[in-house]
Amino acid sequence: MKDLISISDKAASQIKRIISDAHEEVLGIIVGVDKSGCSGYAYKLDYAKKENIKNFEIIETKGVKVFIEPKASMFLVGSEMDYVIDKLSSRFVFNNPNEKSTCGCGESFNI
């Protein structure tokens, strides 16, 4: 069965770095979607800990665990999580085939 989302090599490397730098026991990262921004929704990331991952879908790939919030699944189907480094910033990005539009600043999207 194909994973809900795919994780690029760069994203997996950054997730490993984030987990190793955490000051608490972290199992992986959580990917979620909240109502936010000009276009309606925004991606959110958090540490995955034992107490905050109940009923989440787990993607285990490339040596990392990514926990998908149950309400975010329908927004993320077929997406790729990547990590990009530009001249002045670095960030996780989601290449999501379900997006119909994004805001001008790129912080939010609509489905």
Domains and CATH numbers, the chain: 5-105 (2.60.300.12)
* pLDDT-based confidence at residue 4 (cuts at 50, 70, 90): confident
Which pTM does this prediction carry? 0.83
* pLDDT-based confidence at residue 19 (cuts at 50, 70, 90): very high
Mean pLDDT of 21-34: 91
User: What pLDDT was estimated at residue 38?
Assistant: 60
> What are the tens digits of pLDDT across the range 37-62?
565 778 899 999 988 788 899 999 99
Lateral strand order in the sheet of 28-36: 57-61, 64-68, 28-36, 40-48, 109-110, 101-102
User: What pLDDT was estimated at residue 7?
Assistant: 96
